[in-house]
């Protein structure tokens, strides 16, 4: 039976099936997308059987990794994930990164350069882009806590009061007014930015 049958989106090792290419000697060949962003045309049986696990990047990395010795570490995982969400359309987060035009700078295509610039991830922190619409590069990235990242998300609501623009999370910390109430004042009560920080009246006042 020909092994041409496969399903778009089928995933094996680093490869994700993209489209059928041809049948050769009753062997089905498909175009596969690799986690690194590359592609390869390979036989379905070879991919499923583990004989072909990547576009060739895995072999190159295996040679390179023996030099830096950081394979399997958190920082190496951070680097691989960064590349994947910017280059691999099969990754769930791609629409929010590569799909929006977010790229990894040329220097950081090489792990050694990335590690030299950012070092190991501090405890409890993850890689964050300062400008959420900017690329991954040394000038636009930092290690940040989850709270800092939430403040920096492109979905964060902001308000400008007395010439200062801050997120609702920041205004909440400053004013003591909950983010939920700030959101209600904005979306439902239609308060202007200047009115958002109006003190909450206590019962009886």
Q: What is the dihedral of CA 64, 70, 101, 154, to 10 degrees?
A: 180
Record the pTM: 0.48
- What is the distance, to the nearest Å, from the Cα of residue 68 to the centroid of all Cα atoms in its chain? 24
User: Is residue 169 pLDDT above 90, yes or no?
Assistant: no
Lowest mean pLDDT among 110-124, 141-155, 183-197: 141-155
φ/ψ bin of 39: left (φ > 0), alpha (ψ from -120 to 50), beta (otherwise)? beta
User: Is residue 155 pLDDT above 70, yes or no?
Assistant: no
Report how many helices (DSSP H) and strands (DSSP E) the chain contains, helices first: 7, 8
| One-character DSSP codes across 86-111 | HH-TTSTTGGGTGGGT--B-SGGGSH
- Nearby residues of 163 by Cβ (< 8 Å), 6 or more positions away: none
Domain boundaries, the chain: 11-57, 70-152, 158-195
Q: Per residue in 38-69, pLDDT tens?
A: 899 999 989 998 889 888 887 776 655 555 56
Beta pairing, strands 164-167 & 141-144: unpaired
- pLDDT above 70 covers a percentage of the chain that reads 85
Q: What value does the mean pLDDT take over residues 75-103?
A: 88
Site of tokens 């590349």 = 83
What's the pLDDT score for residue 104? Answer: 93
Q: For residues 156 and 150, what is the distance between their CA atoms, to the nearest angstrom?
A: 7
Q: How many CB atoms lie within 10 A of CB 138?
A: 14
Q: How far is CA 72 from CA 62, 77, 143, in A?
A: 12, 7, 20
Q: Tokens for 107? A: 């220097």
β-partners of residue 31 are: 19, 41
Q: Per residue in 11-46, pLDDT tens?
A: 988 899 999 998 888 888 999 998 888 899 999 989
Q: Tell whether the torsion through CA atoms of 167, 168, 169 and 173 is positive or negative.
A: positive
Beta strands in 25-91 (DSSP E): 27-34, 39-43
- pLDDT above 90 covers a percentage of the chain that reads 16
φ/ψ bin of 185: left (φ > 0), alpha (ψ from -120 to 50), beta (otherwise)? alpha
7 or 146: which leads in pLDDT: 7
Q: For residues 12 and 30, what is the distance between their CA atoms, to the nearest angstrom?
A: 13
Q: What value does the mean pLDDT take over residues 140-146?
A: 83
């Amino acid at each position: 039976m020909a092994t041409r049958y496969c399903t778009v989106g089928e995933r094996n090792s680093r490869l994700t099936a993209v489209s059928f290419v041809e049948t050769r000697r009753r062997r089905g060949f498909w175009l596969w997308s690799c986690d690194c962003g590359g592609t390869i045309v390979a036989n379905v049986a070879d991919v499923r059987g583990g004989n072909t696990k990547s576009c060739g990047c895995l072999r190159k990395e295996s040679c390179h990794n023996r030099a830096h010795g950081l394979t399997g570490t958190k920082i190496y995982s951070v680097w691989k994930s960064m590349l994947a969400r910017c280059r691999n359309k099969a990754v769930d987060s791609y629409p929010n990164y590569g799909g929006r035009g977010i790229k990894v700078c040329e220097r950081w295509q090489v792990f050694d350069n990335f590690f030299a610039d950012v070092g190991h991830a501090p405890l409890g922190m993850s890689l964050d882009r300062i400008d959420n619409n900017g690329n991954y590069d040394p000038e636009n990235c930092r290690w940040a806590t989850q709270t800092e990242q939430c403040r920096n998300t492109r979905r964060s609501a902001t308000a400008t009061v007395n010439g200062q623009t801050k997120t609702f999370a920041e205004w909440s910390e400053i004013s003591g007014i909950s983010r939920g109430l700030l959101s209600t004042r904005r979306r439902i009560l239609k308060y202007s930015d200047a009115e958002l920080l109006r003190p909450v009246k206590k019962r009886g006042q």
